[in-house]
C-alpha cells in the first residue's frame, strides 16, 4: 500500500491502529511514549559539547562497558517516559542488570506489554560527533495480567515481537519502526518538534555494494567470514564492494537499508559468543530487516527463531540485503 508523506507520526499511529492485531490503543500510547523520550534525548545529543553531557561517568554497565553520561541520561528518560504513561508492565535495558517490574503486582493493572531497550547505541561515538541511536523491542507478556512480570516475559524468541524500531540521531533525527506490517520512517522537524512520515514502506534493496564489518578484528574471525570478506573485495564485474563501518549498529543498519548492504558482527576467537546483545539489538533489527525484505542470521540459524536463555545474551549477527546474506550463508555453510 502506497503511503502519503507529510503525515505526522501521531496521525499515522491513529490511522493504522486498526491494522494491528491487538488494537486496544495501548501500543499506540507506547509508541507515543518512545516518541516523546526520543525528542528529549535528541535535544541533549545535539547539545553535546555545549553542556557537561559527554564523557564517561566512571562506572561500567552490566556489559562491562564504560557508561557514558548520555547512556545514563537516555536510559533514565526512556524508562521515565514509559513509566509515566502507565502502559507497560516491565522494562529491560541494556544498561541495567535486572529487568524492572512496573506495578504488575496490582490486579487493577491490565498492561500487557514489556519493552526491551538499548537507550543509546554507539554512545562511544558521541565525543567525536558521530551518529548514535536508540533501539527498542516490544512483546506481549506471557505471564497472567495483574501478576508480577517474570524473566519468562522477556526471554521470548524474536518472532514473538509485536513491534520494534530505532531512532537515529544524525544530520536529521529519524524514528523507524514496524508493528509487523512493513517499515516506516519518520523525520523530526526540530522547529516544531514533530515527526513526519518521510520514508514510507522502507525496503532493503535485494542486493547492494556495501559491506560493514570491523576489519580490525579480521585475524580473529572464523574462516567462513574471512572468505566472504575476500569475496567482497575481489575484482569482478559487480565488485569489489565498498567497506563502510561507522561502529553504531543503528547508523550502519539504516544506511544499508536505504542503499543496500550487509552488516556483520561475527563471533571470533576473542568473542566466541559474539558481542551484540540478542534481545536489545539483534532481535529488533532482525524484525525490522525481515519486514523490509531483508534477512538476519546468527550463523546457521534465523535470528528470530533463537530462544533466549539470558537477559543479556550475546550472539553473532549478520543482517542486510537478502542476496548478500544468502551469499554469506553459503560461505558459512562450508565450515559446518
Question: What percentage of residues in the chain have a pLDDT greater than 70?
Answer: 88
* 9-199 fold: Fructose-1,6-Bisphosphatase; Chain A, domain 1 (3.30.540)
Residue 128: band (very low, low, confident or very high) from pLDDT cuts 50, 70, 90: confident
Cβ neighbours of 128 (radius 10 Å): 7
Mean pLDDT (the chain, rounded): 88
Helix/strand/coil (H/E/C) assignment for every residue in the chain: CCCCCCCEHHHHHHHHHHHCCCCCCHHHHHHHHHHHHHHHHHHHHHHECCECCCCEEEEECCCCCEEEHHHHHHHHHHHHHHHHCCCEEEEEECCCCCCEECCCCCCCCCCCEEEEEEEEECHHHHHHCCCEEEEEEEEECCCCCCCCCCHHHHCCCHHHCCEEEEEEECCCEEEEEECCCCCEEEEEECCCCEEEEEECCCCCCCCCCEEECCHHHHHHECHHHHHHHHHHHCCECCECCEECCCCCHHHHHHHHHHHCEEEEECCECCCCCCCCEHHHHHHHHHHHHHHCCEEEECCCCEHHHCCCCCCCCECCEEEEEHHHHHHHHHHHHCCC
Residues annotated within the binding site are 94, 118, 120-124, 214, 245, 275, 281
User: What is the torsion angle, in degrees rounded to the nearest 10, for the CA atoms of residue 252, residue 277, residue 200 and residue 11?
Assistant: -130
- In tens, the pLDDT along 167-223 reads 999 889 999 999 999 999 999 998 898 999 999 999 999 999 999 999 999 999 999
Query: Which stretch of 19-28, 140-149, 309-318 has the lowest confidence by average pLDDT?
Result: 19-28
Buried b or exposed e, range 42-52, using 16+ CB within 10 angstroms: bebbeebeeee
Does pLDDT of 63 surpass 70? no
Alpha-carbon separation of residue 155 from 231, 268, 279 (angstroms): 36, 25, 8
| pLDDT at position 3 | 57
Query: Which stretch of 1-5, 88-92, 174-178 has the lowest confidence by average pLDDT?
Result: 1-5
Residues annotated within the binding site for Mg(2+) are 94, 118, 120-121, 281
Q: Which CATH entry fits the domain spanning 210-333: 3.40.190.80, 1.20.1300.10, 3.40.50.920, 3.40.50.720?
A: 3.40.190.80
| pLDDT at position 17 | 73
Does pLDDT of 8 surpass 90? yes
* Full-model pTM: 0.91
Q: Where are the domains of the chain?
A: 9-199, 210-333
| pLDDT at position 198 | 95
Task: Judge if the upstream peptide bond of residue 240 is cis by omega within 30 degrees of 0.
Answer: yes
Residues in the chain: 336
Higher pLDDT, 218 or 56: 218
- In tens, the pLDDT along 246-286 reads 989 999 999 999 999 999 999 988 888 899 999 999 999 99
Average pLDDT over residues 120-133: 79
- In tens, the pLDDT along 301-334 reads 999 999 999 999 999 999 999 999 999 999 999 9
Are 187 and 173 in contact, with CB atoms under 8 Å apart? yes
Are 165 and 180 in contact, with CB atoms under 8 Å apart? no
Question: What percentage of residues in the chain have a pLDDT greater than 90?
Answer: 62
Residues annotated within the binding site for substrate are 121-124, 214, 245, 275
Average pLDDT over residues 213-238: 95
| pLDDT at position 62 | 54
Amino acid at each position: 500500500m502506497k503511503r502519503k508523506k507529510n503525515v505526522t507520526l501521531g496521525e499515522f499511529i491513529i490511522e493504522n491502529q486498526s491494522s494491528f492485531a491487538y488494537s486496544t490503543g495501548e501500543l499506540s500510547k507506547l509508541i507515543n511514549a518512545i516518541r516523546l523520550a526520543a525528542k528529549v534525548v535528541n535535544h541533549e545529543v545535539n547539545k553535546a559539547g555545549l553542556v557537561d553531557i559527554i564523557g564517561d561517568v566512571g562506572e561500567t554497565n552490566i556489559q562491562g562497558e564504560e557508561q557514558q553520561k548520555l547512556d545514563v541520561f537516555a536510559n533514565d528518560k526512556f524508562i521515565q517516559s514509559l513509566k509515566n504513561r502507565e502502559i507497560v508492565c516491565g522494562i529491560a535495558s541494556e544498561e541495567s542488570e535486572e529487568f524492572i517490574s512496573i506495578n504488575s503486582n496490582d490486579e487493577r493493572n491490565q498492561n500487557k506489554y514489556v519493552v526491551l531497550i538499548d537507550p543509546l547505541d554507539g554512545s562511544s561515538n558521541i565525543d567525536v560527533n558521530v551518529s548514535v541511536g536508540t533501539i527498542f523491542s516490544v512483546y506481549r507478556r506471557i505471564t497472567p495480567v495483574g501478576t508480577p512480570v517474570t524473566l519468562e516475559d522477556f526471554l521470548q524468541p524474536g518472532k514473538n515481537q509485536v513491534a520494534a524500531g530505532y531512532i537515529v540521531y544524525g544530520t536529521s533525527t529519524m524514528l523507524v519502526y514496524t508493528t509487523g506490517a512493513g517499515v516506516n520512517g519518520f523525520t523530526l522537524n526540530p522547529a516544531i518538534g514533530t515527526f513526519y512520515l518521510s520514508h514510507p514502506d522502507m525496503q532493503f534493496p535485494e542486493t547492494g555494494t556495501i559491506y560493514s564489518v570491523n576489519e580490525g578484528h579480521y585475524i580473529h574471525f572464523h574462516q567462513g567470514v574471512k572468505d566472504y570478506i575476500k569475496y567482497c573485495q575481489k575484482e569482478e564485474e559487480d565488485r569489489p564492494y565498498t567497506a563502510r563501518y561507522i561502529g553504531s549498529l543503528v547508523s550502519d543498519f539504516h544506511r544499508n537499508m536505504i542503499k543496500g548492504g550487509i552488516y556483520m558482527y561475527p563471533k571470533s576467537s576473542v568473542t566466541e559468543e559474539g558481542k551484540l546483545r540478542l534481545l536489545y539489538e539483534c532481535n529488533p533489527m532482525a524484525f525490522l530487516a525481515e519486514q523490509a525484505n531483508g534477512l538476519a542470521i546468527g550463523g546457521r540459524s534465523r535470528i528470530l527463531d533463537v530462544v533466549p536463555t539470558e537477559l543479556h545474551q550475546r550472539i553473532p549477527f549478520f543482517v542486510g540485503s537478502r542476496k548478500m546474506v544468502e551469499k554469506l550463508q553459503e560461505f558459512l555453510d562450508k565450515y559446518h
